[in-house]
C-alpha cells in the first residue's frame, strides 16, 4: 500500500498530493509546521507540539484550521491510513490561498493544511546514536523570530547542506558573540567537565524544542544538574559530551565539532542514557 497524504480536507495518494500555486506557504513561507515522532503509531510528546503549534499560529495571526481535538483525529487517521508505527508526522498550516500580495488576504481565507507521514528505521537510528554524529558550525544568519516554527527554513537548509557536504549530520548556528544558538533542526547541548548539562536559554533567538522541554523533566527526575546557559564551539569540544535533541533525532550524541573530537570522540554515556530515558518518557506522553 502506498503513502497517503492529507491535503485540505482530503486523504489522497502521496504522489498525487498538491497545493495551489498561490498557497501563501509556497510563495511567501507564510506558514508554520510541527513534527511529531511516532512511537508504536502514537504521537510522541503529543500535547507539547500542539501547544507550540497554537502559539506559532497565534504569533502570525493565522487561525487554527480546526479544533485541537479534530486535528488530533485527522493526524491519527493519517497515521492509520499509512500503517506507520515507527516514524514521523509532518503538519503544515499556511495562511491559505490568495492572489499574491505581501499583506494578508482580505477578506480572510481558510488556512491550508497538509499532513504527511513517513516511516523511520528505528534500528538504523539506534545504530547512528550508538556511533554518534559530527556537527559543523556556521554563522547565525536567521531572522529574529526563530521561536516561531515557520517554514521559512532557507538558512537552515543551506546550513544543513554545508554539513552534509563534509559528512556531518547537523550544523550549529553561532551568534556574533561566538556562542552556539541551536542546530539547523535541533537544539544543542553539552555535558560540561563537572557533569552539568547545559543548553541555551530560550530568551535567545531559538526554537523552544519540545524534546528539550521533556528532557528537562527527565534530567530533573534523574537527579542530574541542568543549566540554561550558552556555550561556544570550543567549550563543546572541551566538554565531556555533546548532543542534539529534536523530534527527528530524539537525543543524538555528537562526537565531533568542525571535525575535531568532543571529549573522547565517542558517543557519551550521559547522552546515551538520556536518549533511553527520553524515549520512555515520550512514549508515556504519546497520544
Ligand atoms: N531547533 C530547530 C531549528 C528545529 O527545527 C527543531 C526541530 N523541530 C528543534 C530545534 C527541536 O525541536 P523539537 O524538539 O520540538 O523537535
Q: What is the CATH number of the domain that holds 169?
A: 3.20.10.10
Query: Quick check: CB of 137 below 6 Å from ligand 1?
Result: no
Distance CA 257, CA 168 (A): 9
78: Cβ–Cβ under 8 A, 6 or more apart, which residues? 4, 5, 6, 11, 89, 115, 116, 117
> What's the gap in Å between 255 CA and the centre of ligand 1?
20
> What's the gap in Å between 247 CA and the centre of ligand 1?
7
pLDDT digits (tens, 9 = 90+) for 187-207: 999 999 999 999 999 999 999
Among 98, 120, 142, give the residue marking a domain's end.
120
Q: How confident is the model at residue 285 (pLDDT cuts 50, 70, 90)?
A: confident
Distance CA 189, CA 251 (A): 10
pTM for the full predicted model: 0.97
Query: Quick check: CB of 152 below 6 Å from ligand 1?
Result: no
Catalytic residue among 149, 160, 162, 283: 149
pLDDT digits (tens, 9 = 90+) for 114-159: 999 999 999 999 999 999 999 999 999 999 999 999 999 999 999 9
In this structure, what DSSP letter does residue 174 have? Answer: E
Among 75, 101, 120, give the residue marking a domain's end.
120
Of all residues in the chain, the percent with pLDDT exceeding 90 is: 99
| Distance from the first to the final alpha carbon of the chain | 25
If phi over 0 gives left and psi between -120 and 50 gives alpha, with beta otherwise, what is residue 7?
beta
**Could you tell me if 158 and 269 lie in one domain?**
yes
β partners of residue 87: 38, 119
**Could you tell me if 175 and 245 lie in one domain?**
yes
Query: Quick check: CB of 35 below 6 Å from ligand 1?
Result: yes
Report pLDDT for 209: 98
In this structure, what DSSP letter does residue 284 have? Answer: H
Greatest alpha-carbon pair distance for the chain in Å reads 59
Atom nearest to 52 CA in ligand 1: 15
Q: How many CB atoms lie under 10 A from the CB of residue 113?
A: 20
- The answer, yes or no, to whether residue 102 has pLDDT greater than 90, is yes
> Rounded to the nearest 5 degrees, what angle is found at the Cα of 72, between the Cα atoms of 68 and 75?
135
Q: Could you tell me if 45 and 218 are in contact, meaning their C-beta atoms sit under 8 angstroms apart? A: no
- The answer, yes or no, to whether residue 235 has pLDDT greater than 80, is yes
- Average pLDDT for the chain: 97
The CATH number assigned to the domain holding 92 equals 3.30.470.10
Residue 67's SS3 state is coil
Q: CA nearest 140: which of 155, 161, 162?
A: 155
In the block, residue with C-alpha cell 506558514: 31
- The answer, yes or no, to whether residue 87 has pLDDT greater than 70, is yes
**Residue 248 lies in domain:** 125-285
**Could you tell me if 257 and 162 lie in one domain?**
yes
Of all residues in the chain, the percent with pLDDT exceeding 70 is: 100
**Could you tell me if 116 and 135 lie in one domain?**
no
Q: How confident is the model at residue 1 (pLDDT cuts 50, 70, 90)?
A: low
Atom nearest to 49 CA in ligand 1: 15
Q: Could you tell me if 231 and 177 are in contact, meaning their C-beta atoms sit under 8 angstroms apart? A: no
Q: Cα 112 to the chain's mean position, in Å?
A: 21
> What's the gap in Å between 223 CA and the centre of ligand 1?
25
Query: Quick check: CB of 56 below 6 Å from ligand 1?
Result: no
pLDDT digits (tens, 9 = 90+) for 52-65: 999 999 999 999 99
Query: Quick check: CB of 253 below 6 Å from ligand 1?
Result: no
Distance CA 263, CA 40 (A): 35
Nearest CA to ligand 1 atom 2: 185
Backbone angles phi, psi at 31, to 5 degrees: -160, 155
Q: How confident is the model at residue 284 (pLDDT cuts 50, 70, 90)?
A: confident
Distance CA 189, CA 118 (A): 27
How many domains in the chain? 2
Query: Quick check: CB of 249 below 6 Å from ligand 1?
Result: no
Report pLDDT for 31: 98
Residue 11's SS3 state is strand
**Could you tell me if 160 and 222 lie in one domain?**
yes
**Could you tell me if 131 and 226 lie in one domain?**
yes
Distance CA 63, CA 65 (A): 6
β partners of residue 116: 90
**Could you tell me if 138 and 92 lie in one domain?**
no
Cis peptide before 107 (omega within 30 of 0): yes
Nearest CA to ligand 1 atom 10: 186
Among 120, 151, 181, give the residue marking a domain's end.
120
In the block, residue with C-alpha cell 552539568: 196
**Could you tell me if 81 and 42 lie in one domain?**
yes
**Could you tell me if 72 and 146 lie in one domain?**
no
Report pLDDT for 85: 97
- The answer, yes or no, to whether residue 98 has pLDDT greater than 80, is yes
**Could you tell me if 64 and 178 lie in one domain?**
no
**Could you tell me if 153 and 115 lie in one domain?**
no
Report pLDDT for 174: 98
Q: Look up 160 and say whether it is catalytic.
A: no
Query: Quick check: CB of 212 below 6 Å from ligand 1?
Result: yes
pLDDT digits (tens, 9 = 90+) for 64-76: 999 999 999 999 9
**Could you tell me if 159 and 62 lie in one domain?**
no
Amino acid at each position: 500500500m502506498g503513502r497517503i497524504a492529507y491535503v485540505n480536507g482530503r486523504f489522497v495518494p502521496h504522489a498525487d498530493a498538491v497545493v495551489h500555486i498561490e498557497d501563501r506557504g509556497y510563495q511567501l513561507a507564510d506558514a508554520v509546521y510541527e513534527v511529531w515522532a511516532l512511537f508504536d503509531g502514537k504521537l510522541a510528546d503529543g500535547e507539547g507540539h500542539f501547544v507550540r503549534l497554537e502559539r506559532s499560529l497565534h504569533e502570525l495571526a493565522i487561525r487554527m484550521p480546526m479544533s485541537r481535538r479534530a486535528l488530533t483525529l485527522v493526524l491519527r487517521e493519517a497515521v492509520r491510513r499509512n500503517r506507520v508505527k515507527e516514524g514521523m508526522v509532518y503538519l503544515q498550516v499556511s495562511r491559505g490561498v490568495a492572489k499574491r500580495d505581501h499583506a494578508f488576504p482580505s477578506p480572510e481565507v481558510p488556512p491550508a493544511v497538509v499532513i504527511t507521514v513517513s516511516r523511520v528505521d528505528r534500528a538504523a537510528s539506534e545504530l547512528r546514536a550508538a556511533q554518534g554524529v559530527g556537527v559543523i558550525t556556521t554563522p547565525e544568519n536567521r531572522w529574529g523570530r526563530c521561536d516561531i516554527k515557520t517554514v521559512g527554513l532557507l538558512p537552515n537548509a543551506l546550513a544543513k547542506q554545508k554539513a552534509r557536504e563534509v559528512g556531518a549530520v547537523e550544523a550549529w548556528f553561532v551568534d556574533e558573540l561566538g556562542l552556539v544558538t541551536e542546530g539547523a533542526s535541533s537544539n544543542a547541548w553539552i555535558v560540561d567537565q563537572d557533569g552539568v548539562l547545559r543548553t541555551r536559554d530560550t530568551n535567545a533567538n531559538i526554537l523552544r524544542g519540545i524534546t528539550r522541554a521533556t528532557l528537562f523533566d527527565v534530567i530533573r527526575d534523574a537527579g542530574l544538574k541542568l543549566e540554561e546557559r550558552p556555550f561556544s564551539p570550543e567549550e563543546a569540544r572541551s566538554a565531556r559530551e555533546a548532543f542534539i535533541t529534536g523530534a527527528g533525532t530524539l537525543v543524538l550524541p555528537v562526537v565531533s565539532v568542525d571535525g575535531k573530537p568532543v571529549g573522547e570522540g565517542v558517543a557519551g554515556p550521559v547522552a546515551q542514557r538520556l536518549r533511553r530515558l527520553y524515549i520512555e518518557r515520550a512514549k508515556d506522553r504519546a497520544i
